[in-house]
Structure 1
Amino acid sequence: MSARIGAIFAIVLLLAVAASLLVPWVDLAALWREDGAVALDVLVELRLPRAALALTYGAMLGAAGAAVQALFANPLASPDLTGTTSGAALGAVVTAYLFGFSAPLALSAGSVAGALAALGLLLALAGPRAETATLLLAGLAISALAGALTTLALALAPSPFAFYDAYDWLMGSLIDRSLSQLAFAAGPAIFVIALLARLARPLDSLALGEDVAQSLGHDIARLRLEIVCLTALGVGACVAICGAIGFIGLVAPIFARRLTRGHPGRAILPAAMIGALLLIAADLMTRLTPLGRTLPIGVVTALLGAPFFLWLVAHMRWRVRD
């Protein structure tokens, strides 16, 4: 991605963050009037964590999706389609029953453990260079298993309040998150995105084949382990705070590769920027619906992402036929 395109994306992201802070409209002029404390509280306590979490979570999903797609050499690989998001959600729900949803450190640990287990199982079942059919079947099986166990956990909820808290959280939400919760998601996400970006060169060489990558001095086994662990850490930390949000990790890398001329490793940072923009846009859509209430952001991303996924599968099938 050229510096010019990167600058354009940065400007668009800043505008999107500004819109996230101000929509629905916050009267900035009120900051200098007697009621300024109310407007300031809305911006700092409500809007700022929400916008920052959308930026962080979207960037993390985009970067993780690009890394997983590069690892499997498959454009259909993503954290939600490989079972990583479902595994993280399962780990967080089980942990929440033990420690409550107000324990972000425990939630993060449980969510990361679930994501790591799901992605490790996928790697063992499908292999590192899985074909599309194998990847989809293994990912769907792991997602179904994690979903069934999550439903079982909901059925065995210790109280009705725990059930409704877990159900609302599973649909994904950026609402009513605090700055302290933001730190639990943003810290690991920034750390993971930075480390994934450093793996751009070995991931690009891996696209040429394992033999080529090894001849260039890259340790393939170590690279796989790093991708699995980093993806689980980043996605798990974000899922623990905001719940499961799907399809951003699938869509963002596909657009990012068009900006990097098909280089999977170089698509990590552009995918992070596109993922952040997509999630901020989806969050804005949840507030501007004509239904008179805020929709769960996970529902919005699924409604937008599922048709794109179906189109992508059909497009790949047509290309195979041709």
Structure 2
Amino acid sequence: MMLIRVNLVMAGMALLAVLAALAPANGWADIASLGQSGAEGELARILVLEIRLPRILAAFGVGAALGLAGAALQGLLRNPLADPGVLGVSGASALGAVIAVYFNLAALSVWAMPGLAIFMALGTTVLLYVLGASSVSTTRLILVGVGLSSLAGALMALLMNLAPNPFSLSDLINWLLGSVANRSWADIGFAAPFWVIGLVLVFMAGPGLRALSLGEEGASGLGANVPRIRLLVIIGSALLTGASVAIAGIIGFVGIVAPHVVRPFVRHDPGDLLLPSALLAGTVLVLADMAVRVLPFAMEMKLGVTAALIGAPAFIWIAARARGMGQ
């Protein structure tokens, strides 16, 4: 009953955020003009349905995917600081997308960028688990993630340093800063299948994550198929992260903060944590994107920068309060 109430509250918050973000500049005048005929109605249709709504849905989809991936990885690794960004998965995924852009592979196939982004995310997640991320201390796990992020960042910096012209360099930098501006229905349609498959895989692992909170031996004793749970979370998180990076670039910290906010309301159950974390993270990213649209700057602030400015202090607070940091 508690979980149902939490999910309803989160869903209501998400709906209100989407509605509030539809017309922050001109109130509801454009929305009210949708039903009108003529030039005014057509302009309103383009502004609301072809520009604002795809951007809002892209922000919500990216946030929800990262929040869901963060909650799933925290449950799998039994570590409260696990997250695609902190563990280097987002950085590696971004490296795959940068490789596709730099070598012009995206021009050869529309699947090149998301394919490489998802492949790199999957490979990094597998590498983390092979290195024993579920058994090492929080401090060591963060150090491994920092190392992977630094390596991915260095390789991306190398590619940008070798960019053939300033226009390519500008495109790479703007994309890496993270944004959902100018995203279209085609972009959402392209990422949506990966998000849906990742969501299904992660939710299939949900009951197993609850058993896995007792440890792998305890979960096996309860009849849980630990290798299957591991595979579902790894592939699902990689699909969610890779598709999000492919559509929006690097958006950090939302995947770690949202599960921590929700966790006390679901009694720290890793299976019940998944949906509320996704809804909250999507809502937060919609509100953050709405903020960057209305802030009075000469140039629009990038969503990834805003998310980092908000999420980094929250991450520091969470890390400082986490138990076992000195282990």
TM-score of the two chains, using structure 2 as the length reference: 0.93
Equivalent residue for 2:318, pick from 302, 312, 316: 312
**Percent identical:** 39
Aligned to 1:89: 94
1:287-298 aligned at under 5 Å gives the runs: 287-298=293-304
| Kept after mapping to 2: 8 A contact 1:85/1:244 | yes
Deviation (angstroms), 1:101: 5.5
Aligned equivalents of 2:204 and 2:227: distance in 1?
17
8 Å Cα contact 1:171-1:298 kept in structure 2: yes
Match status 1:22 vs 2:23: yes
Structure 2 residue aligned with 1:7: 8
Does 2:75 match 1:74?
Answer: no
SS at match of 1:22: coil
**CA shift for structure 1 position 118:** 1.8
- Measured after TM superposition, the shift of residue 292 of structure 1 is 4.1
Distance across 2 between alignment mates of 1:219 and 1:28: 50
Task: Give the CA deviation at 1:131.
Answer: 1.4
Structure 2 equivalent of residue 40 of structure 1: 45
Q: Distance in 2 between matches of 1:48 and 1:249?
A: 23
Larger deviation: 253-262 or 166-175? Answer: 253-262
Cα distance 1:29–1:268, how it changes in 2: closer, same or farther (>3 A)?
closer
Q: Could you tell me whether the CA contact under 8 Å between 2:114 and 2:242 is conserved in 1?
A: yes
Give the alignment partner of residue 273 of structure 2, picking from 237, 255, 267.
Answer: 267
CA root-mean-square deviation: 1.8
The correspondence of residues 1-322 of structure 1 with structure 2, limited to 5 A, is 1-25=2-26, 27-31=30-34, 32=36, 34=38, 35-99=40-104, 104-316=110-322
Does the Cα contact within 8 Å between 2:30 and 2:48 map onto a contact in 1? no
Distance in 1 (alpha carbons) for counterparts of 2:7 and 2:236 = 24
2:57 is aligned with what amino acid? Answer: A
1:122–1:142: 8 Å Cα contact kept in structure 2?
no
Mapped partners of 2:110, 2:279: distance in 1: 26
Aligned-partner SS, 1:148: helix
| Count of residues paired in the alignment | 320
What is the rounded CA distance, in whole Å, between the counterparts of 2:13 and 2:239 in structure 1? 28
Question: 1:144: how far off?
Answer: 0.5
Give the partner amino acid of 2:42: A
Task: Give the unaligned 5+ runs of structure 2.
Answer: none
When residues 174 and 100 of structure 1 are mapped into structure 2, their CA distance, relative to the original with a 3 A threshold, is: farther
Cα distance between partner residues in 2 of 1:9 and 1:222: 29
Shift of 1:315: 1.7
SS in 2 for 1:199: helix
Distance in 1, matches of 2:233 and 2:10, equals: 26
The CA deviation at 1:191 is 2.3
| Deviation for aligned residue 1:151 | 0.6
Gaps of at least 5 residues in structure 1 are: none
Q: Structure 2: how far apart are the matches of 1:285 and 1:129?
A: 40
Determine helix, strand or coil for the equivalent of 1:134. helix
**CA–CA separation in structure 2 for the residues paired with 1:3 and 1:121:** 36
1:13-40, Cα deviation, whole Å (9 max, x unpaired): 1111112211222522333153111111
Distance 1:190 1:292 in 2: 37
TM-score by length of 1: 0.94
